A and B are shown apart, each in its own frame.
Chain A
Amino acid sequence: MKQIFNFCAVAVFVFTVLCSCAGNPPKDERELAEKAFADAEAGKDCDRENYLAAEELLNQAREEVNNKNYDKAKELFNAVKEKSDAIAKYYREHPDECMTEKDKKGNGEDDGSIKEENITSNDAADPSVDPKNPEMDFQIIHFEYNQYAVLEEDLPKIDIMAQWMMNFPERVVRIEGHADERGSNDYNLSLGEKRAMEVKNKLIQAGIDSARIKIVSYGEERPVDPASNEEAWFKNRRAEFKREN
């Protein structure tokens, strides 16, 4: 990034020299001022007053460029550079004074306080369940026998799903409700539908537009495990998310 920035600066400089004639915008003064102001940012907390003043001058200078008062603008850019350089210099010489209150707390070796950081960076998350991942794997919601309430332990799966739908607002999903093999086909179709509906309602409560959630019940017709035992039945009593688009 820095290299690109330097390259741009050089390019602008060369361009300015070549076209330096009266009545043109003060491009290199502007460039130098903006760079100096950016560099001053690190010290803004120890000399806030001057930092805000520099910002104000910079805005005025830009305004003058727009108004084609190039001489006035050039003067202001030079003032910005001067102020910014002063802030940066002070920061370099007195870094401790420029620490924010938050930074001081975080550097807590001496006072025994706790340093707390959020670590939800992309590197740390499992991409298969990361709601920022457009190709996130959808997790399966399970149910008790003849019940359609979402199990407590499965609620976070619905939260992740809701976040994913927030992140990708153009996506429409289909929730497929399923029952285990026990019971009549018609009752199980209703039970599967109740399960899909319950999950849909949870997503709506989380703020998802109901128009983005379709549901369909397959009753007992689509088991993931064809065996006739408790383990298979648990796997088969489920709601699955599928992408519609």
Chain B
Amino acid sequence: MSVRFRLITLAAVIFASMNLFAQLQVEVKDGAVAEYNMAVSPLAVLDGADAAMASEISSAIEKVLDITGYFKILDKRSFLEKPEVAFKAVNFKSWLDVGANGLIKGTVKGKDEIELELAFFDVAKGKPVVQKKYTSKAALAKKSAYRFAAEVIKLLTGEEMNFMFSKIAFVEKTGEKYTLVVTNFDGTGRKALYSTSKTILLPEWSADGSKIFFTSHEKNNPNLYSYDLKTSQIKTVSAYEGLNVSASAYPDNKTIALCLSKDGNSEIYSLDTTTNELKRLTVNSETDTAPSVSPDGQEIVFVSSRSGNPQVYKMSLSDLNKVERLTEQGNYNQDPEYSPDGKKVAFSGRDEKYQFDLFIIDLASRQISRITQNQGKNESPTFSPDSKVIGFSSNRSGKSKLFLSNVSGTRQIAVYSGEGEVLMPSWSPAETN
């Protein structure tokens, strides 16, 4: 198939004056995007600014653009023009010569108080398109760069993306030791929250992003706990005999769906974490588990082996008899995850080669698209808050690492690998501040 993919349709329609981007279109051939070549120049370091920080900022911009899959990031070593050249003096011919469609360059000034100037140029037109100046404390400079990148992406693709402002929680398992870890979306800024040899499993964020739910055998029963990111306090959320696993937050920020086995086998319940009121949602002699609540709190997707093998189902929370099976192919489909825009469900399934790969169901069309193939074991898909990127664990290059992929699967990169195995990632909600 060949589709004309218009990158900036929306911007072009609304802002007639911006129709200079109308030629920024990308060919999509057989699922592969012919990328937009972006040159991200190293930043000019002025007035005692930290050179390391400057390079961190430019590579942060590169990483954000890269993971969308819409851009090919050009190799810095090929660039002909020095970073110190002023915005007004850019020699566009030298950028055309290295194959750039677009150019991002900038300057960073100051040590504690940072002044960051960034500009995006359309190389063919020889004109600046966006120019911004950000002033902030040093700690926030990277966030300024993310804002700029989000703006460039919006201009060129019409898509609002905010994945760069969020975090990912996951479990790092080194030998017998489990550590609950949070990093920035790109695997930087690792923070170890809690370690134990008694398992840490299935971390999941609360709706407001202030807590992380997880299961641990700390008391020799798989109980559900919450870790408060502000106070570092761990509280028991659910400790029924048997499983207390797979928490998924309702948008009300107090209710969670979870799997308990207290009634004889794995069933899904909703639990009001403020009143401890419990409501049973499934009744079945086979396993029902892994609930993921829809963003409007009206439905859940979950795994059930009621047909004999694990398959993904969708159930209405207002009418528990309204259950629909979403996966028909394959006999081992699990780990479903609702996208925050409510339009898609990602899951991991075992294919004909007995490998676990990631798939996405488009709920409107019921089309299933494949994200990974022939690349080891790929598990635990988790959507970024803008539904544009999925995080997952993959052992394609040996031990299991944190990977990101755009939702079409055309761009996949490893963003974090630690000493041990990276398992069960969970993407945070959108940042609120």
Contacts and interface: CB of A to CB of B under 8 A. Distances in A.
Nearest to A187: B334
A185 B310 contact: no
B380 interface: yes
Interface in A212-239: 215-219, 221
Interface string B301-319: 0010100011000000000
Interface stretch (A16-24, A90-98, A189-197): A189-197
A216 B220 contact: yes
B348 to A, nearest CB: 6
B380 A190 contact: no
B332 A190 contact: no
Contact of A184 (B217, B221, B305, B379): B379
A186 B289 contact: yes
Contacts of B199: 218, 221
A190 B266 contact: yes
Given A186-B246, A189-B201, A197 B335 contact: no
B202 interface: yes
Nearest to A193: B261
A221 B216 CA distance: 11
A116 to B, nearest CB: 45
B264 A185 contact: no
A169 interface: no
B424 A185 contact: yes
B309 A146 contact: yes
A68 interface: no
Contacts of A193: 242-243, 261, 265-266
B202 A186 contact: yes
Give chain A's interface residue range (CB within 8 Å of chain B). 10 to 19
Contacts of A243: none
A134 interface: no
B139 to A, nearest CB: 35
B164 interface: no
Contact of B201 (A146, A215, A221): A221
A183 B332 contact: yes
Contacts of A146: 309-310, 332
B222 A182 contact: no
Given A184-B334, A186-B202, A216-B220, A197 B289 contact: no
Nearest to B308: A146
B261 A218 contact: no
Nearest to A148: B287
B303 A194 contact: no
Nearest to B336: A184
Contacts of B143: none
Interface in A140-177: 146
B423 interface: yes
B348 A184 contact: yes
A187 B201 contact: no
A218 B215 CA distance: 11
Interface in B206-237: 215, 217, 220-222
A227 to B, nearest CB: 13
B425 to A, nearest CB: 12
A221 B424 CA distance: 12
A219 B242 CA distance: 12
B290 interface: yes
A197 B259 CA distance: 16
A190 B202 contact: no
Contacts of A182: 350, 354, 356
21 contacts: A146-B309, A183-B332, A183-B356, A184-B290, A184-B348, A184-B379, A186-B334, A187-B310, A189-B201, A189-B243, A189-B289, A190-B266, A190-B289, A191-B287, A193-B242, A193-B261, A193-B266, A194-B266, A216-B217, A217-B242, A218-B217
Q: Which 7 A-B pairs have the closest CB atoms?
A: A190-B266, A184-B335, A190-B287, A184-B334, A186-B290, A186-B246, A187-B334
Given A184-B348, A216-B222, 17 more contacts: A183-B356, A185-B201, A185-B380, A185-B424, A186-B245, A186-B289, A186-B335, A187-B303, A189-B222, A190-B265, A193-B243, A193-B265, A194-B287, A215-B242, A216-B220, A217-B261, A218-B217
